[in-house]
Structure 1
Amino acid sequence: MIFSVNSVEQTTAIGLELGKLLKSGDIVCLTGDLGTGKTHITKGIAKGLGIDDHITSPTFTIVNEYDSGRLKFYHFDVYRVSDPDEIYAIGFDDYIFSDGVSVIEWANYIEDILPNEYLHIHIEKNLDKGENFRSITLKPYGERYDYIKELKL
């Protein structure tokens, strides 16, 4: 499933609609270059889960936890993780195999330790169309995520 967007608001809206559909235990893995909109998708997901907190990327803390929505929400940023042991040390498995929703920015940095089933979202810039244009590709790994076919914008 591929979406084309040309604004931050449209990027966030995809996350919002996805957040409304996400279920307990879901894992969303985000990839894309710097500045493509991974955190904006994450902000939308949080809002779709009913979380009104200010969402920031946990670049230096690796994970931020939010529990004010319909499900617990774990927001990972593994950009600065250089060794899988570092992410295991924070209790990675306890988060992603919990009943909360986990979103992992820069998931390609830890792909060797990801579970078999997750929803992959890749964002890339379409500079030939303009500065704000993006292609957002959602690809489910595992039957668990077949429900994303219900995503409507």
Structure 2
Amino acid sequence: MREIHSNSPAETEAAGRAIAGLLQPGEVVAYCGGLGMGKTTFTRGLARGLGCADEVSSPTFTLINEYRGGRLNLCHLDAYRLQSADELFDIGFYDYLDAGWAAAVEWSEQVALEPALTVTFERTGDQSRIIRMEGKGL
């Protein structure tokens, strides 16, 4: 397990960028943490670390955002409104993985996944977080 103490959004983004090199095609990064914890900011770093040039935003209203053009394409899923893992099939989530995309999943506790990496966010102040990462390569 790796633990990072982030004192700003820029440091949270840098943490995402730092682990991007660990991801392989079809792998999932599962996020745990409440609202406003830095999950989308971390994903921005992950996308930049993969070389994706697309603007990163929260997938809250779209369910899945796509970021293309890097070493790996990245899909960014918000599972908050999903009721079960079966809905992952319905929205085409596994099609991304089968096509070799990496995936970042917010609210991963809503669905059963087998992630390569699990990232847990804990607020320690207005801008500060503890980011705990565990899984493959850490």
Q: How high is the TM-score relative to the length of structure 1?
A: 0.82
Q: Secondary structure at the match of 1:124?
A: strand
| Cα RMSD, aligned residues only | 1.5
Greater CA drift, 8-17 or 91-100: 91-100
1:119 matched to 2:107: no
One-letter amino acid of the structure 2 residue matched with residue 125 of structure 1: R
Unaligned 5+ residue runs, structure 1? 149-153
Superposition deviation, residue 52 in structure 1: 1.7
Q: CA deviation at 1:95?
A: 2.1
Residues 138-149 of structure 1: matches in 2 within 5 Å? 138-140=133-135, 145-146=136-137, 148=138
Matched-pair identity in %: 38
Which of 103, 127, 133 matches 2:128?
133
Deviation for aligned residue 1:15: 0.5
Corresponding residue SS for 1:12? helix
Structure showing the higher helix proportion among its residues? 1
Matched residue, 1:7: 8
Residues 30 and 105, structure 2, Cα contact 8 Å, conserved in 1: yes
Residue 62 of structure 1 deviates from its aligned partner by 1.3
C-alpha separation between the residues in 2 aligned to 1:71 and 1:22? 8
Which residue is equivalent to 2:109?
A: 108
Match of 1:84 in 2: 85
- Report the CA distance between 1:102 and its aligned residue: 0.7
SS in 2 for 1:102: strand
Any idea what the Cα deviations from partners look like across 1:65-102, whole Å, max 9, x if unmatched? 22211211111111121243332211222223441111
TM-score by length of structure 2 reads 0.90
Alpha-carbon displacement from aligned partner over 1:14-37 (angstroms, at most 9, x marks no partner): 001112332222210011011110
Letter in 2 for 1:118: A
Aligned residue type for 2:52: I
- Flag the structure with larger Rg: 1
Partner in structure 1 of residue 46 of structure 2: 45
